[in-house]
């Protein structure tokens, strides 16, 4: 049995990690930290964990050297304050913030508005998308868990980049539920503003854009990513609609065959006729639906639960790999469907 802890366990991703971990047969949740809720029983904040988690929020991750794995579910800029000390104790870390996703500290500063304080570990962090970087994750001590939008977009586009089949730039038009904004409410996610609306925001300025471009260029050849995120009035889920010109004419059947081959054997990626948010809700699965328009343009749709495959589930998938466990352990269940 592996002992694990969560830093920043008050938020949605921290709570979701706890929800998944209480059913994990090989991991035991030992500590959950919260600066604002230290001393409170966890089930007084995350009431859905009552009867499953008998812990109080701790003010810090003291005793980390007795843990095997720590999940850092903190805002960006906070994780890099904790990670160096954790790694020095010998514990493995999966960071769910954006602090270790971009390999260049200058690019990090440009997009996050903060100087990176841990460039040494930044250079050694492995991007935690198992379907593309499984071997590197297995050997890593520090994994940067992907962003939710990049998870959907990269899985949608990776087969086309890997085969060099695209000409020109790629448009990623993605819609996300309100939980993606985190637990602290803001003007955009206030219920009267978003409950009966669709909001386009941060076009060309979203921090997930350089993440998509960097990872896709590791995978293969393709143009820049033109990313436009939208907020839609659901709680969980992302649908990424990706469009690009093909370098050579192809049929839908040829592209579907390519995707079937690329993701063959992947437990958590399903090539389907129609990607659906409800089909993957509360699961660690991604549905991908490729098509060709007029023989010249690719249209690929991907759906995930932003809190599971887009955050906590993927973090647990990476942790399984890092600890030498079957990667589907504690995650092998379907989406809600309705």
Q: Taking the chain, what is the end-to-end CA distance rounded to the nearest angstrom?
A: 35
Phi-psi region for residue 62, left (φ > 0), alpha (ψ -120 to 50) or beta?
beta
Quick one: CA torsion of 38, 40, 45, 49, rounded to 10 degrees? 110
Q: Which is the catalytic residue, given 148, 194, 242, 318?
A: 148
Q: Which residues contact 165 (CB under 8 A, 6 or more apart)?
A: 246, 247, 248, 250, 258, 298
C-alpha to C-alpha distances, 285 to 35, 60, 228, 235, 320, nearest whole angstrom? 32, 32, 23, 17, 16
- Active-site residue, 194 included: no
How many whole angstroms from its chain centre is CA 105? 20
C-beta of residue 83 within 8 angstroms of C-beta of residue 121: yes
The DSSP result for 86-155, as a single string, is HHHTT-EEEE-SSTTTSS-HHHHHHHHSS--S-HHHHHH-EE--HHHHHHHHHT-SEEEPPPHHHHHHHH
Catalytic residues: 148
């Amino acid at each position: 049995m592996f002992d694990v802890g969560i830093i920043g366990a008050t938020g949605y991703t921290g709570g979701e990690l706890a929800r998944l971990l209480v059913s994990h047969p090989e991991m035991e949740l030992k500590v959950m930290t919260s600066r604002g809720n230290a001393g409170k029983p966890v089930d007084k904040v995350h009431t859905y964990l009552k009867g499953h988690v008998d812990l109080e929020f701790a003010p810090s991750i003291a005793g980390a050297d007795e843990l095997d794995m720590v999940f850092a579910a903190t805002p960006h800029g906070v994780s890099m304050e904790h990670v160096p000390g954790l790694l020095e104790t010998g514990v493995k870390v999966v960071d769910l913030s954006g602090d270790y996703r971009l390999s260049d500290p200058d690019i990090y500063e440009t997009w996050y508005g903060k100087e990176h304080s841990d460039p040494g570990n930044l250079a050694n962090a492995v991007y935690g998308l198992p379907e593309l970087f499984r071997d590197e994750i297995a050997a890593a001590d520090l994994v940067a868990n992907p962003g939710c939008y990049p998870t959907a977009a990269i899985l949608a586009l990776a087969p086309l980049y890997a085969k060099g089949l695209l000409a020109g730039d790629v448009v990623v038009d993605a819609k996300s539920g309100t939980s993606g904004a985190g637990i602290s409410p803001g003007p955009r996610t206030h219920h009267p503003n978003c409950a009966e609306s669709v909001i386009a925001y941060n076009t060309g300025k979203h921090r997930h854009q350089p993440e998509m471009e960097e990872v896709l260029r590791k995978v293969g050849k393709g143009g820049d990513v033109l990313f436009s995120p939208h907020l839609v009035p659901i709680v969980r889920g992302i649908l990424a609609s990706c469009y690009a010109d093909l370098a050579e004419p192809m049929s839908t059947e040829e592209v579907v065959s390519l995707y079937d081959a690329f993701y063959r054997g992947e437990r958590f990626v399903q090539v389907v006729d129609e990607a659906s948010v409800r089909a993957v809700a509360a699961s660690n699965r991604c549905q991908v639906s490729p098509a060709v328009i007029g023989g010249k343009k690719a249209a690929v749709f991907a759906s995930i639960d932003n809190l599971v495959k887009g955050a906590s589930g993927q973090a647990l998938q990476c942790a399984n790999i890092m600890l030498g466990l079957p990667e589907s352990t504690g995650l092998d269940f379907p989406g809600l469907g309705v």
